[in-house]
Amino acid sequence: MNIKSFSLFIAFCLCSISLIAQQKISGIVFENSDITPIANVDIYDKVAGKVATTDAEGHYEFTTQKDSITLVFFSFEYEVYEKTFTGNTEIVIDIFLRPLGEQLSEVELNVRKTKVFALKRLKDVEETAIYAGKKTEVVLVEQSMANLASNNARQIYSQVVGLNIYQNDDAGLQLNIGGRGLDPNRTANFNTRQNGYDISADVLGYPESYYSPAAEGLKEIQIIRGAASLQYGTQFGGLVNFVMKEPNQGKSFEFITRNTIGSNNLYTNFTSVSGSIDKWSYYSFFNYKKGDGFRPNSEFESKNAYAHIGYQFNDNTKLEAEVTYLRYLAKQAGGLTDEMFNENPFQSNRARNWFQVDWLLYNLKFSHKFSENTNFTFNAFGLNASRNALGFRSNRVNQIDPNTERDLIKGDFNNFGFEARLLNKYEVFGKKSTFLVGTKFYKAENSSQQGPGSAGSDPNFEFQLDEFPNYGNQSAYDYPNLNVAIFGENIFYLNEKLSITPGFRFEHIKTESDGFFKRINTDAAGNVILNETVDNSEVRKRSFVLFGLGVSYKPSDVLEIYGNASQNYRSVTFTDISIINPAFAISPTIDDEKGMTIDFGLRGNYNNIVSYDVGAFGLFYNDRIGFIQRAFADGSVKSERGNIGDAVMYGFEGLLDFNLNEIFIKNNDYSFNYFINAAITDSEYTNTPENGVEGNKVEFVPNINLKTGIRFGYKNFLSNIQYTYISQQFTDASNAVDSNLSGVIGEIPAYDILDISMSYTYKNFKLETGINNILDNNYFTRRATGYPGPGIIPSVNRNFYVTLQVKF
C-alpha cells in the first residue's frame, strides 16, 4: 500500500464517525422485599459478557447495538434474574431481585459465579479496545486453584491452549511462556502489559519481561493471540495483559494477609489494603519471597510493592495513578550437560553466579466518556530498571569453576511513552459500527556493559577493570530507540449476527546501537598478543503498515464462529547483535523477522453444561531467527544465532470445560468440573539457505501439548487435580537430539506432571495447600543459551506448600 492509499483509508475511517444514538437500556435494581437499591450488581449480555454494574444508588445504564438482548442480573446475595429486551428505542426498566434464603460462604459465592459463567472471554468492545473476531482467553486467577504464592504458571495458565512454559524456579520470579513455536524465554514474543501499559525492558530493543506481577495481586490475565498486533504492537505472540485487583468499592478499608510456607524453606507474605472513600479509591500490596531453591546454590529473596490510587471526578471522568517496584537477588546454580543431568539432575558446580533485578514502573491513566457512544483513554507510562548478571559461564558446562574473575553484564533501562485511544460507536448506511483509532509514542535510552567482575563469591556487581585489564569479554553500548505508531480498527455489523473487523497499524521504528567491544588474546603464559578496540555503531530505520481482518458470526446464543488474519513483525533486538557469549556466536547478517498469523475457531457456552473454544491456526514465519551449528575459521564448531529461513507452524487447539454438577448432581452445595486443554501442532522449515535444515521441525514445537484436570468442591471445601503432558521438542534448527559441550542444543524430552491442590474457607480465614509434581518426575523444559546457564536448567521436583489467608 502506498502513502496516498493509506491516507485515503484513514480519511474514510475518520469521516465515517457519527454520533447517531444507539439503543439505551437503563433503570434501577431493587431488593424485592423492601424496595432497597442494590449496589454492585453485575449485568451480563448472555452472549457477549458483562455490560454494566449498578452504582451506589442501584442505577445501571448502557447502550447496545442489538435489537434483541438477553440480560442476566447477578449479585452474590441474590437470586440470578434473567430478562430479554427487544426493540430499538430507549428502554427504562427497574429490576427486582429476590434475596437468597441463607448467607453463603465466600467459596460458595465463587462457585455460584463460576457456574453461571464458566468460561470468560473478552466481549467485542471493552472501554477503548476492540476484540471482535479475535482469539481471546481470560484467566480468572482466584478461581484457578493454582499455587499463587509461587506464581505456578503451569497451573495458572492451565486452560490457555497451546502454551509452552519454561519451568525452572520454584518461586515464580520470572514468567517464561511461548507457544506455536515461539521461544518462551522471558515471554519475549508477547507484548506484556499491566493494566494496559508496557512493563518489559524495551518493547522493541529488549522485550524480555524480568518483572512478573504477583499472582496473589491479580484479578485476571488477558491473552489475545496473533491479531493483537494491530492494537498492541507487531509481535507474533500477541498480548498478555495482567489486570491487577481493583479497589473494594463497598468498604473504606479492607485488609488481606497471606502467609505461605513450602518445600526448600520457602516463605512468602502477601499483604494488601484496599478501599473507597467518597471519590477516592486505593489498592496496594507488598509481596515478600525467600527460599533456598530446589538445587544447591539457588537461594533467592524478592520484594515487590504496588500502589494504585484513583479519583472519580464524575460519572464520565476518572484519573488513576499507579507505581510498581520489584527488587530481587537470586543465586544461580548454572546449567548441566545431558550426562550431568542423567547422573544427578539437582547437582550444581556453580557457587558464584548471581542475578539481580531492580524494576520501577509508573503509569498515569486518564479516562473520559464524551458521550454514550464515545470513550477516550490516555496512558502515560515509564520504566527505570536494571538487571545485573554475574558468574562463571564457560562454554564447557562441566568445567569446574577455577575461582578466577567472573563475567559481569549490566543492563540499564530508561524508557517512557504514552498511548491515546478514542473509540466511537456510530452508524453507517443504517448499520451499526464501532471505530477505534489510537497512537503510541515510545522512547528508550538503554545501555549495556560487559566486562570482568570480581574473583570473589559474593554478589558484587561492580566492574574490576583495574584488577583484570586483559579480560577478553569487554563491551559497552548505548541503545536509543524510538517508536511511533498509529493504529485503527472498525467493527462493521452487517447484521445482528455477522461482523467484520478490518484494522491497520502504521509503525515507524528507529533502533540504534552505539558502542565498542574489545578483542583481547593472550598466549599460554598470559601475555597479551592482541588488544584492539572495535567501534560499532548502527542506525536502523523502518516505516511500514501492517493489516489485519477479523470475522465473527453468532448464529445463536451458544455458538460463535470466528476467524482472523494479521501480519506480524519482530525487529532485531540488541541481545541479538551485541552480547558476547561463549556458548554461541552471532551472525553478522542477522535481520528482522516478518510473517503472518491466522486463527479460525468455534466457541460458546451450551446451557452452562459445557463451555468450549476449538479451532485451528497457522503461523507463517519469514527469516526466522534461531540456532544452527557452524564450523568457524579457527577450527571450532559452535552454535550461531541468525536468520535460519522461512517456516510454518500449524495445528489444532481446543478447550472443553464440562460442568458435571449441572449434568449429574444439580445441587448448589457442590461444584464439579472436568476440563481438557489440548494442542496438536506441527511445523516445518520451508525455505532456507542452510544445508540440512529445509524440511526440519521448528524449535520449541511439541507435537502434543495436553493439560487436563478435575475440580471438585462441597460448600467451603474445594479441590483440584491437574495432569500435564508435553511431547518431545527440539531446540535448534538442525534438530539435534544429542547435546554439545555447552548443553545449549539437543532435544527436550517428553515429560508429564501431576499437581493437586485444596482449599477450605471458614469465616475470615482460608487455608490452601497442595503438592506440585506429586509423582516426583525428573525433567527439564529449557536449555539456556546464557543466564541462568548455559546448559540444561532442571525443573522442580516434588514440592508442597501451605497458605493461610486472613481477610477483614
Angle at 269 between CA 265 and CA 270, to 5 degrees: 150
Which pLDDT score, from 0 to 100, does residue 83 have?
85
Kindly state the helix (H) or strand (E) to which residue 110 belongs, with its residue range: helix 106-116
Kindly state the helix (H) or strand (E) to which residue 114 belongs, with its residue range: helix 106-116
Rounded Cα–Cα distance for residues 357 and 352 (Å): 17
Which pLDDT score, from 0 to 100, does residue 104 have?
52
Contact 46, 557 (CB under 8 A): yes
Q: Which residues pair with 154 in a beta bridge?
A: none
Distinct helix (H) and strand (E) counts, the chain:
6, 42
Contact 476, 409 (CB under 8 A): no
Q: What share of the chain is helix, strand, coil (3-state, %, to 5)?
A: 10, 55, 35
Rounded Cα–Cα distance for residues 697 and 732 (Å): 9
Rounded Cα–Cα distance for residues 695 and 687 (Å): 8
Cell numbers at 634, concatenated: 579457527
Q: Which residues pair with 307 in a beta bridge?
A: 284, 323
Contact 649, 181 (CB under 8 A): yes
Helix (H, G, I), strand (E, B) or coil at 124: coil
Nearest CA to 433 out of 762, 125, 664, 152 is that of 125
Residues of the chain with pLDDT under 50: 1-21, 102, 106-109, 111-119
Rounded Cα–Cα distance for residues 658 and 610 (Å): 4
Helix (H, G, I), strand (E, B) or coil at 121: coil
Which pLDDT score, from 0 to 100, does residue 3 have?
43
Rounded Cα–Cα distance for residues 515 and 582 (Å): 20
**Phi (first) and psi of residue 723, to 5 degrees:** -120, 135
Rg, C-alpha atoms of the chain = 27
CATH assignment, 242-807: 2.40.170.20
DSSP H helices in 604-742 = 660
**Phi (first) and psi of residue 158, to 5 degrees:** -65, -25
Helix (H, G, I), strand (E, B) or coil at 658: strand
Angle at 173 between CA 172 and CA 177, to 5 degrees: 65
Which pLDDT score, from 0 to 100, does residue 14 have?
41
Our measurement of the distance from residue 752's CA atom to the centroid of its chain's CA atoms, rounded to an integer in Å, reads 23
pLDDT 10s digits, 471-518 = 888 999 999 999 999 999 999 999 989 999 999 999 999 988 899 988
Q: Which residues pair with 202 in a beta bridge?
A: 206
Beta strands 559-570 and 528-556, pairing class: antiparallel
What b/e readout covers 682-705, taking b as 16+ CB neighbours within 10 angstroms? ebebeebebeebbebbbbbbbbeb
Rounded Cα–Cα distance for residues 53 and 241 (Å): 22
DSSP secondary structure letter of residue 498: E
pLDDT 10s digits, 675-721 = 999 999 999 999 999 989 999 999 999 999 999 999 999 989 999 99
DSSP string for 403-463: ----EEEEEEEEEEEEEEEEEEEEEETTEEEEEEEEEEEEEEEEEEEEEE--SSSS---S-
Nearest CA to 513 out of 449, 591, 586, 578 is that of 578
pLDDT 10s digits, 618-670 = 999 999 998 887 776 666 667 788 899 999 999 999 999 999 988 898 887 88
Which pLDDT score, from 0 to 100, does residue 19 have?
37
Which pLDDT score, from 0 to 100, does residue 12 have?
42
Rounded Cα–Cα distance for residues 354 and 410 (Å): 12
Domain residue extents for the chain? 16-101, 125-241, 242-807
Model pTM? 0.88
Q: Is the peptide bond before 788 cis (omega within 30 degrees of 0)?
A: yes
User: Measured between alpha carbons, how far apart are the two ends of the chain, in Å?
Assistant: 59
Domain 16-101 - what CATH class?
mainly beta
Helix (H, G, I), strand (E, B) or coil at 466: coil
Rounded Cα–Cα distance for residues 421 and 440 (Å): 9
**Dihedral of alpha carbons 795, 768, 115, 564, sign:** negative
Nearest CA to 333 out of 795, 793, 799, 798 is that of 793
721: Cβ–Cβ under 8 A, 6 or more apart, which residues?
A: 709, 710, 754, 755, 756
Contact 26, 60 (CB under 8 A): yes
Which pLDDT score, from 0 to 100, does residue 634 have?
64
Which pLDDT score, from 0 to 100, does residue 199 have?
96
Cell numbers at 54, concatenated: 449498578
The fold of the 125-241 domain, in CATH, is Ferric Hydroxamate Uptake Protein; Chain A, domain 1 (2.170.130)
